């Protein structure tokens, strides 16, 4: 099984960025943990983080036919990007939306997501653990469908 971890703008700054909201764990720390979990289950992981919308869109297009599930933190694009939504609808790859912070406790503009209604699942407010839970969910769901 191939899983793509996709992270949007400013998530490269995790660890130093607004630690009161996002904690002190870096993106590399999160990826290392996901790699460990995947290796235990023979899952192949790929990762892309970009601050550019078109790079994220191209990555989703290129995932068609090779990637079985996407773990996606669209970051600020969550609240703005019809183009990323359309890309996910186009490729029809199941994806899990993850947010480190509880967006529903924050500014009103963060309460709306262009992705939640088309996601296979949504995890908010659990910090880095959210990525691990999403990875587990993606594997369990995929295995169920194979049976």
Question: Hey, what are 57's tokens?
Answer: 């869109």
Q: Is 113 annotated as a binding residue?
A: no
Distance of closest approach, residue 144 Cβ to ligand DQA, in angstroms: 27
Q: Is 110 annotated as a binding residue?
A: yes
Rounded to whole angstroms, the Cα distance separating 111 from 109 reads: 6
The two beta strands, 44-49 and 2-7, are parallel
Least distance from C-beta 128 to ligand DQA, angstroms? 10
In the bound complex, what is the minimum distance in angstroms from residue 110's beta carbon to ligand DQA?
Answer: 4
49 beta partners: 7
For 10-66, where are the alpha helices, taking DSSP H only? Answer: 19-22, 27-39, 53-63
C-beta of 85 vs 142, nearer to ligand DQA: 85
What is the binding site for ligand DQA (CB under 6 A)?
A: 10, 73, 75-76, 78, 99-101, 103, 110
- 100 labelled ligand-binding: yes
**Nearest CA among 109, 106, 133 for reference residue 120:** 133
The reply to whether 86 sits in an annotated binding site is: yes
Residues annotated as part of the active site: 22, 99
| 50 or 73: CB nearest ligand DQA | 73
Beta carbons of 132 and 33 less than 8 angstroms apart: yes
Residue with tokens 């400013």: 10
Nearer to ligand DQA, 81 or 101 (CB): 101
Q: Which residues are annotated as part of the binding site?
A: 73, 79, 86, 100-101, 110
Q: Which residues are annotated as part of the binding site for substrate?
A: 73, 79, 86, 100-101, 110
């Amino acid at each position: 099984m191939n899983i793509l971890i996709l992270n949007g703008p400013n998530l490269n700054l995790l660890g130093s960025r607004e630690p009161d909201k996002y904690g002190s764990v870096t993106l590399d720390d999160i990826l290392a943990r996901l790699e460990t979990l995947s290796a235990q289950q023979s899952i192949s992981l790929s990762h892309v983080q970009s601050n550019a919308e078109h790079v994220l869109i191209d990555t989703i297009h290129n995932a068609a036919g090779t990637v079985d599930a996407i773990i996606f933190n669209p970051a600020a694009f969550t609240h703005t990007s019809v183009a990323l939504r359309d890309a996910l609808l186009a490729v029809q790859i199941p994806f899990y939306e993850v947010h480190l912070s509880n967006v529903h406790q924050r500014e009103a503009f963060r309460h709306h997501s262009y992705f939640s209604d088309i996601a296979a699942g949504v995890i908010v407010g659990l910090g880095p653990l959210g990525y691990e839970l999403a990875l587990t969910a993606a594997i369990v769901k995929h295995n169920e469908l194979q049976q």
